[in-house]
Chains A and B, each alone.
Chain A
């Protein structure tokens, strides 16, 4: 891992050096959590951006201009996110900012980007209310609201479950909003819930809740968790003799589950616009390139970051950069909503959201989702 960091740092250094030698470079800010509890997700996201930016530059950049990433660590803390955003906007004079990693940080820092008229683009921030902040806010992180109903429908059809128990992390925005979406979808599809239990981030033991769930005899378990807790939950569930299928949220869409929950990872249903097994050429090329560059397979976070960079590149292709920072930032914002992109997460368009008073505000992503189930250490896409 250390060698990867060094290689990445050297690559970035050389890259930055090369970038500065060119007269017109496009400075794009990347504010992600590179340390702390959210570090594992932030680093994957940064890697996705890096890969995409390197590819674009290798192909000649955007109309001859190279992308220069200005990467800062916001540590997964909202105060840091604010500080980093300000620095990127005022001191580094970036054209736009990708990030931050956590929804909490986004809610604290996006208003600043909006006020400064700088595009803020989240690729992992799925909480409600983020795009309501204003029309400079974009995200391609699919909120589970679109994905979850499809996942449930397909899983129910294929496994025939009639009722479910629900288990979710109630102290994390990602897993809690996932739960809210699950609950709504279950109610809409009229699937009764036999038990609802919660866990907290950092928990190591889930047997108390799982035992309680088992006692209510559900046909399936709906799990809104990130991989760090999700994998041990799978293992402990199987250890308690709970053999029912598990329907997971976005957080469970990572090949790490096959390692972390080895022997217990079969029967997990997930839905997402991205699947590592998706055979479309763009995706396979991405997976191979990512694995080669970072010695690890990509996950959903990396994939969405990768596509996000291409989406922004497409928008920049339509914009004529004048050198006037404020004008260029606005021009980018104006060009983004109409971008469509067919990337590793499939066809993508933007859809405008509304703010609290109902007026049009920021932009969410609109994509189809793929439902897969795990079997023998792989995700198998279900049609």
Chain B
């Protein structure tokens, strides 16, 4: 049983990491706890679903649709809502409240347009059956999720670590004012980050919609809470931390179910989170970055 549970944990961990990647990016660069990330996650899932059911495009088309749809929503939110608040220098709780409003609006719109019921991707969008390898059961989607999350993490880290763009983003993360003084087009980069982060969320939505066979208007809400936990574990704004934090949470949850009991699962996960914060507030994997004005 243990080996299967390890596989389960790996997949679940990557599911969480996928969601957290976009979430942590917004916090790291824009300095905002974006509670509408769950909603853009949902938008991506619906966009992908509609592309497949109405336009009959294959999965790649659906992925593109998720990226465009969610990314656009994220961008619009940044331009219309977050930018004016930035201009005013609002303390960072205010934008968070605004993103709550955005989430409520998006969730209810989706419920009005698509209905509240659970929908699912058509059977056969991706091969459903599991493959048995050495007694372990793995599906194509499990592998796709694991692969995608690691690939995205590597790509993001490379983009931020090595490119000029990435350096500019890191400068902004440390101090937007200083970055501006250095001649970096901070606003443009904020918009770009918002787009990319939301697009990541959209892709996550599509993949998790496929994984769970459940696409519904409020699907982002439970993920949001787990996403917050992952981002704390991994360190806010830390890309590799989001990955590692996701894996950590996945393993903590699966192993606590396997060896302690499923009723205690959330208590264990959040209890661990609490203890970790007491000992290491920057998270298990993050580094302390004091954000200057």
In the complex they form, whether A and B have CB atoms below 8 Å apart is answered with yes
Q: In the complex the two chains form, is A207's CB within 8 Å of B108's CB? A: no
Of A2, A200, A209, which is within 8 A of B113 by CB?
A2
Q: In the complex the two chains form, is A212's CB within 8 Å of B128's CB? A: no
Interface of chain B: mostly helix, strand, loop or mixed: helix
Q: In the complex the two chains form, is A212's CB within 8 Å of B258's CB? A: yes
Q: In the complex the two chains form, is A2's CB within 8 Å of B214's CB? A: no
Q: Is A330 an interface residue (CB 8 A)?
A: no
* Neighbouring A residues of B265 by C-beta, 8 Å: 200
- What CA separation (Å) do A219 and B112 show in the bound complex? 43
Q: In the complex the two chains form, is A239's CB within 8 Å of B130's CB? A: yes
- What CA separation (Å) do A35 and B115 show in the bound complex? 9
- What CA separation (Å) do A201 and B208 show in the bound complex? 16
For chain A, residues 171 to 226, give those with C-beta under 8 angstroms from any C-beta of chain B: 197-205, 207-209, 211-212, 214-215
For chain B, residues 197 to 231, give those with C-beta under 8 angstroms from any C-beta of chain A: 208, 211-214, 216, 218, 221-222
* Neighbouring A residues of B113 by C-beta, 8 Å: 1-2
Q: In the complex the two chains form, is B214's CB within 8 Å of A239's CB? A: no
Q: Mask for B145-176, Cβ within 8 A of A = 1, else 0?
A: 00000000000000000000000000000000
For chain B, residues 1 to 31, give those with C-beta under 8 angstroms from any C-beta of chain A: 1, 4-5, 8-9, 11-12, 15
Min Cβ gap A215→B in Å is: 4
Q: Is B262 an interface residue (CB 8 A)?
A: yes
- What CA separation (Å) do A203 and B128 show in the bound complex? 19
Q: In the complex the two chains form, is A207's CB within 8 Å of B130's CB? A: no
Q: In the complex the two chains form, is A212's CB within 8 Å of B214's CB? A: no
- What CA separation (Å) do A266 and B100 show in the bound complex? 41
Given contacts A205-B212, A256-B117, A260-B118, contact A239 B257 (CB under 8 A): no
Min Cβ gap A293→B in Å is: 15
* Neighbouring B residues of A35 by C-beta, 8 Å: 108, 111, 116
Of B132, B139, B212, which is within 8 A of A204 by CB?
B212
Of A197, A201, A232, A235, which is within 8 A of B257 by CB?
A197
Min Cβ gap A192→B in Å is: 19
> At the interface with chain B, which of A37-45, A145-153, A244-252?
A37-45
Closest-by-CB residue of A relative to B255 is A208
* Neighbouring A residues of B132 by C-beta, 8 Å: 241
- What CA separation (Å) do A24 and B252 show in the bound complex? 63
Closest-by-CB residue of B relative to A167 is B262
Q: In the complex the two chains form, is A259's CB within 8 Å of B221's CB? A: no
Min Cβ gap A23→B in Å is: 36
Given contacts A2-B112, A241-B137, contact A208 B12 (CB under 8 A): yes
Q: In the complex the two chains form, is A259's CB within 8 Å of B120's CB? A: yes
* Neighbouring B residues of A142 by C-beta, 8 Å: none
Q: In the complex the two chains form, is B214's CB within 8 Å of A231's CB? A: yes
Q: Mask for A19-46, Cβ within 8 A of B = 1, else 0?
A: 0000000000000000111011001000
Q: Is B123 an interface residue (CB 8 A)?
A: yes
Q: Is B69 an interface residue (CB 8 A)?
A: no
Q: Is B266 an interface residue (CB 8 A)?
A: yes
Q: In the complex the two chains form, is A241's CB within 8 Å of B130's CB? A: yes
Q: Is A261 an interface residue (CB 8 A)?
A: yes
Q: In the complex the two chains form, is A208's CB within 8 Å of B8's CB? A: yes
Min Cβ gap B287→A in Å is: 30
Of A5, A198, A215, A262, which is within 8 A of B123 by CB?
A262
Q: In the complex the two chains form, is B216's CB within 8 Å of A205's CB? A: no
Q: In the complex the two chains form, is B128's CB within 8 Å of A239's CB? A: yes
Q: Is A353 an interface residue (CB 8 A)?
A: no
* Neighbouring B residues of A39 by C-beta, 8 Å: 111, 116
Q: Mask for A137-158, Cβ within 8 A of B = 1, else 0?
A: 0000000000000000000000
Q: In the complex the two chains form, is B213's CB within 8 Å of A260's CB? A: yes
Min Cβ gap A60→B in Å is: 33
* Neighbouring B residues of A211 by C-beta, 8 Å: 1, 4-5, 8, 258
Q: Is A263 an interface residue (CB 8 A)?
A: yes
* Neighbouring B residues of A197 by C-beta, 8 Å: 257, 262
Q: In the complex the two chains form, is B15's CB within 8 Å of A209's CB? A: no
Q: In the complex the two chains form, is A208's CB within 8 Å of B254's CB? A: yes
Of B4, B111, B221, which is within 8 A of A202 by CB?
B221
Q: In the complex the two chains form, is B257's CB within 8 Å of A208's CB? A: yes
Given contacts A40-B118, A208-B254, contact A263 B5 (CB under 8 A): no
Interface centre among A37, A200, A204, A264 (most CB of B within 10 A): A204
Q: Is A240 an interface residue (CB 8 A)?
A: yes
Q: Is B253 an interface residue (CB 8 A)?
A: yes
Q: Is B129 an interface residue (CB 8 A)?
A: yes
Q: In the complex the two chains form, is A208's CB within 8 Å of B118's CB? A: no
- What CA separation (Å) do A269 and B218 show in the bound complex? 29
Q: In the complex the two chains form, is B129's CB within 8 Å of A239's CB? A: yes
Interface centre among B11, B12, B137 (most CB of A within 10 A): B137
**Can you list 8 A-B contacts (CB < 8 A)?**
A205-B211, A212-B257, A215-B1, A238-B130, A239-B130, A260-B213, A262-B120, A263-B129
Given contacts A209-B257, A263-B128, 16 further A-B contacts (CB under 8 A): A35-B116, A37-B218, A198-B263, A200-B265, A200-B266, A204-B212, A204-B222, A205-B15, A207-B12, A207-B254, A211-B1, A211-B258, A212-B1, A239-B130, A261-B213, A263-B129
Q: Which residues of B contact A (CB under 8 A)?
A: 1, 4-5, 8-9, 11-12, 15, 108, 111-118, 120, 123, 128-130, 132, 137, 139, 208, 211-214, 216, 218, 221-222, 253-254, 257-258, 262-263, 265-266
Sorted nearest first, the 6 A-B pairs with minimum C-beta distance are A202-B222, A39-B116, A204-B212, A208-B257, A207-B8, A1-B115
